[in-house]
Chains A and B, each alone.
Chain A
Amino acid sequence: MYEKNGEKYFVVDSHMHFWDASRENWVEGRENLAKGWIDCFYGYHTLAPPETHWTWEKYLKVTPEDLMRDVFEEGYVDKAIFQSTYLKYWYKDGFNTTERNASLLEQNPDKFIVNGRWDPRDGEAGLRQLEEDARRWNLKGVKLYTAEWHENGSRGWKLTDKESYRFLEKCRELGIKNIHAHKGPTIWPLNKDAFSMEDVDQTATDFPDLNFIIEHAGIPRIDDFAYMAVQEPNVYAGCSVVIGAHMHARPKSFAKFMGELLFWVGEDRMTFGSDYNIWTPKWQIEGFVDWQMPDDEAFSDYPRLTTATKKKILGLNAAKLYGIEVPEECRLPEAPSIPEQPGEQLADEATPAGAQA
């Protein structure tokens, strides 16, 4: 919990990792890819305030003690949700597998939620694995990478693929309600479709009982994301990277991103994620609570942030998605639910012919 000026913020870090990019884990003959990947991440790391930077060596792999301190003792997080990233093509045991994340869950069952993953290209075996994982870790969510390469030679897939729908139906059956899809900065994809968000649009309509949290809010293609999200009530903006990469390094861009997301998506459908170990949560939470839309004329038509807005984004929205109990003192008074999303009204009023970019 984070407390500032008498206000108490319940914090759910809904997108974080526990990776192993150490040299011992690099696949022989593919060291350049393993190093290239973590170098790329380290570039993002340096966008944080300098006093929070780690050395490249430390960045390769943190200890469980580091994580517990950074996230919970110093980082104010009440509940952290692990998202996995496999990348076994160049990391022997994977970069950040469900098993690796779950190793921390066993010692701290009340601190973590472990999300699973699936890949429709794994077919029947993948479905069985998903069932097994769901039982083992009581899965409530999964993280999906549609641009990921596969050993069968495929260089990506779509949520709307027939096989993908089988997995989504399985999620429904197993009570996995939260589908986190990575639609962010492009790494690897060879094809135009790899970053397209059209598949989310269709799938969110076909599975109205599932929630689709689009990590990194589709940035840099935030426009495609926003026009899709404005129409789909079960699509959420995952704010990992939005805060981490911009709040300190590019404050003006950050203000615009926040303004646009509040306008098109609304404060009830935005979720905080520190993206640890890319960045630590402490500076992001402290900075976000202190942050306000600049008074400058250029920002005058963006919504302002209230204390309630910040409470929702930092924890209450994700707590709702995952059924996490929020202490009385951190809740908001139950108000009649009027979604704050001005963009919906504007889009409804003026939907012009040919406006679908």
Chain B
Amino acid sequence: MNVRDTVWQALGTVLDPELDEPITALDFVASCTVSGDGVASVHLRLPTFFCAPNFSFLMVADAYDAVSAVEGVTRADVVLDDHHASTEINGGVAAHAGFLQTFAGEADAELAELRQYFLEKAVIAGQDRVARPLVDAGVGPDELAALTLGAAPPSPDLDRLRARRAALGLPAGDGAPLLIHPDGSRVTAAQVPLHLRRARLTRLGMESNGDLCKSFLKTRYADPAAIR
């Protein structure tokens, strides 16, 4: 694989924290090039001029870290285009300043907590993605409460759920129950109906938000990303 492809792959590990989807799949990468001497130049774009600066900062910073770590990249230039806080964010990321320093006097918390909050949501929503087809096939609360990750049918959704759980330090091995509370404890059979109701609702909030973002991006940038 050439360096450009590896950089693209690295960008695929960067998530929109609120939507829990890779920025490459969301079409947020406007361009991605690597020069002969290893300088990677990446431009990012977002659905609106006013997308929340905290999420925007996380994506640019994560992209910078991911691209910088690619072997063969000598320097990473990651730039956010057309955003109300482009100047602050781009400057802050390039200078390795944290969010607090970048928005001195405006922000009062680093973003780790924010990232954690959405990862927890992704873990709840992910349980619906894996369990819903089973519910539709007639699997009942007793069986669902007993089902382990290793025994659930393999799927990209299952892999994604395990990755998010691992990132939060929640049980992600084969023997871990599929359905868990936010603190990692097992969901009992009696709790399954409410638990799944909640998981479905969280998924709805995240996925419909993603749909909205995609349609705004399409309106804003009529032509699909030049690359790929």
Query: Which A residues fall within an 8 A CB radius of B?
Result: 32-33, 36-37, 39-40, 43, 46-47, 153, 155, 185-193, 219-223, 226-227, 245-246, 249-250, 253, 256-257, 260, 263-264, 297, 343, 346-347, 349-357
Contact = CB atoms under 8 A, between A and B. Distances in A.
Contacts of A352: 181, 187-188, 190-191, 194-195
B103 A40 contact: no
B202 A47 contact: no
A40 B82 CA distance: 13
Given A220-B206, A222-B205, A355 B49 contact: no
Nearest to B52: A186
B13 interface: no
Interface stretch (B24-32, B69-77, B150-158, B212-220): B212-220
23 contacts: A36-B48, A36-B49, A36-B84, A46-B215, A155-B106, A155-B107, A185-B212, A188-B53, A190-B107, A191-B109, A192-B113, A219-B205, A222-B201, A222-B205, A250-B208, A250-B212, A257-B204, A257-B208, A346-B194, A355-B181, A355-B194, A357-B121, A357-B182
A343 B107 CA distance: 37
A281 B197 CA distance: 32
Given A257-B204, A257-B208, A357-B120, A40 B215 contact: no
B124 interface: yes
A357 B84 contact: no
Interface string B98-139: 000001011111000110010011001000000000001000
B6 interface: no
B204 A260 contact: yes
Contacts of B198: 223, 227, 355, 357
Contacts of B48: 36, 39-40, 43, 187
B109 A192 contact: yes
A43 B219 contact: yes
Contacts, number: 130
A59 to B, nearest CB: 13
Given A32-B84, A187-B52, A352-B181, A253 B195 contact: no
B84 A33 contact: yes
Given A352-B181, A355-B198, A191 B108 contact: yes
Interface residues of B, number: 49
Contacts of A33: 84
A253 B109 CA distance: 33
A224 to B, nearest CB: 8
B50 A187 contact: yes
B148 interface: no
A95 to B, nearest CB: 13
A108 to B, nearest CB: 33
Given A46-B219, A189-B52, A350-B193, A222 B204 contact: yes
A-B pairs, top 3 by smallest CB distance, nearest first, are: A36-B49, A220-B209, A354-B181
A43 B120 CA distance: 29
Contacts of B120: 357
B81 to A, nearest CB: 13
Interface string B75-87: 0000000001000
A249 B215 contact: yes
Contacts of A250: 208, 211-212
B191 A350 contact: yes
Given A36-B49, A39-B49, A47 B197 contact: no
B9 interface: no
B79 to A, nearest CB: 17
Contacts of A226: 201
B183 interface: yes
B15 to A, nearest CB: 16
Contacts of A346: 193-194, 197
B33 interface: no
Contacts of A349: 194
A60 to B, nearest CB: 16
B205 A221 contact: yes
B185 interface: yes
Contacts of B47: 43
Nearest to A349: B194
Contact of B212 (A222, A245, A297, A351): A245
Given A43-B220, A223-B205, A357-B202, A191 B194 contact: no
Contacts of B84: 32-33, 36
B41 interface: no
Contacts of A193: 109
Contacts of A357: 120-121, 124, 182, 198, 202
Nearest to A37: B50
B195 A190 contact: no
Nearest to A36: B49
A355 B52 contact: no
A191 B117 CA distance: 12
Interface in B15-41: 18
Contacts of B107: 155, 190-191
A260 B208 contact: no
Contact of B208 (A36, A192, A219): A219
A191 B114 CA distance: 8
